[in-house]
Copies of this chain bind each other. A is one copy, B any other.
Amino acid sequence: MSNIKVGIIGLGRLGKVHAGNLAFRVPNCELYAACSMVEAELEYAKKELGVTKTYANYDEMVKDPELDAIFIVSPSGLHCEQIQKAMENGKHVFSEKPIGLDVAEIEKTMAVIDAHPEQIFMLGFMRRYDADYQYAKEMVEKGELGELTVVRCYGIDPSDGMESFVKFAGASNSGGLFADMSIHDIDLVRWFTNQEVKKVWALGKNAAYKQLDEVGELETGAAMLQMADKTMGILVAGRNCHHGYHVETELIGTKGMLRIAQVPEKNLVTIMNEHGVVRPTSQNFPERFSQAFVNETAEFINCIKEKRQPGVNANDGLQSTKVAIACQKSYEEDELVSLSDIK
């Protein structure tokens, strides 16, 4: 069987990570085309990634009969429409998270996806494909932690992006801290517990950058999630981590506790100097999840070749977005929000 030919839309920071993986690190596929409105990005795709074709227009790329699959790494607000178009043109689709920002639009997109069951659809919750998370999931499935009672997830971005975020906070529409930062963690809570969220309470505080209050954005937030079976979810999200990129997940079960990246160790090195005993830290998501991005794309290609749907589907996108919306609403209204009220 020949290589799967993939066309990518979006060549920003994360787009370049995916494009590089498709071009060089994932077997059985070929990065055949790239689409961007930025000329320099198309030049990059041709010269550095060796793509055969470039497109400035997504509607054209999506009709290219040579392409087997479309890889969507565009701004979040475009995902739904682009997924639909790709599906309707018979392509397999990988979309970065979130699947969308609006519940009704996501539900419409899901209907389109459901109407093409023979095409693969996969959503980019890459943490599920990180070796550490898979190790943890396997321990949970084998019952080594007993029944889960608490899942705690931290997702805190490095502070070196703070100045820029504050500057553009009013203009951009991040969807708020919980949609922007916690969406992976919400997916993890659902994945580890096999439960849906029932009710949430979310809080937030701007301390270093109080001006964020004015534009409705948050520096640091926390949310508590009540799952359908009473399991407790705890989220902390932030944009102001001075030691790097802090993604940590904890599982408390009736037989034991497990933590993934309790501290964000960069490598196996320990340094002892005038600061004390120091473990260097991961600095950003491409570093931390480098191999997870390769693994998820390999899984997408394998699903196409083996004609089976992946573990992460459109409903995972819908549910995680609904929870993020509920958290944002809870923060804004300072009230408990039931998921049944998110339409």
User: Hey, which bits of chain A sit against chain B, CB under 8 A?
Assistant: 24, 27, 131-132, 135-136, 139, 144, 146-150, 152, 199, 201, 203-205, 207-208, 219-224, 226, 229-232, 234, 236, 238, 240-244, 246, 252-281, 334-336
Question: Within the complex, which residue of B24, B246, B267, B278 is in contact with A131, where a contact is CB–CB below 8 Å?
Answer: B267
Distance between A164 CB and nearest chain B CB, rounded to angstroms: 17
The CA of A136 and the CA of B132, in the complex, are separated in Å by 24
- Stoichiometry, as copies per complex, reads 4
Distance between A126 CB and nearest chain B CB, rounded to angstroms: 15
Asked if A242 and B267 make an inter-chain contact with CB atoms under 8 angstroms apart, the answer reads no
Task: Using A150-B236, A269-B135, A272-B281 as known contacts, say yes or no to A201 and B243 having CB atoms under 8 A apart.
Answer: no
Nearest-neighbor residue (CB-CB) of A213 within chain B: B230
Q: Which of A199, A201, A242, A253 has the most CB of B within 10 A?
A: A242
Question: Within the complex, which residue of B131, B199, B243, B254 is in contact with A277, where a contact is CB–CB below 8 Å?
Answer: B243
Asked if B281 and A207 make an inter-chain contact with CB atoms under 8 angstroms apart, the answer reads no
The CA of A257 and the CA of B139, in the complex, are separated in Å by 26
The CA of A263 and the CA of B260, in the complex, are separated in Å by 13
Asked if B263 and A272 make an inter-chain contact with CB atoms under 8 angstroms apart, the answer reads yes
The CA of A222 and the CA of B235, in the complex, are separated in Å by 12
Q: List 12 A-B contacts (CB under 8 A).
A: A147-B207, A149-B238, A152-B236, A208-B254, A224-B224, A243-B257, A243-B273, A244-B276, A258-B270, A260-B268, A262-B262, A275-B276
For A222, list chain B residues within 8 Å (CB).
150, 224, 232, 234
Distance between A257 CB and nearest chain B CB, rounded to angstroms: 4
Asked if A269 and B260 make an inter-chain contact with CB atoms under 8 angstroms apart, the answer reads yes
Q: Which of A208, A264, A278 has the most CB of B within 10 A?
A: A278
Nearest-neighbor residue (CB-CB) of A267 within chain B: B132
For A149, list chain B residues within 8 Å (CB).
205, 207, 219-220, 238
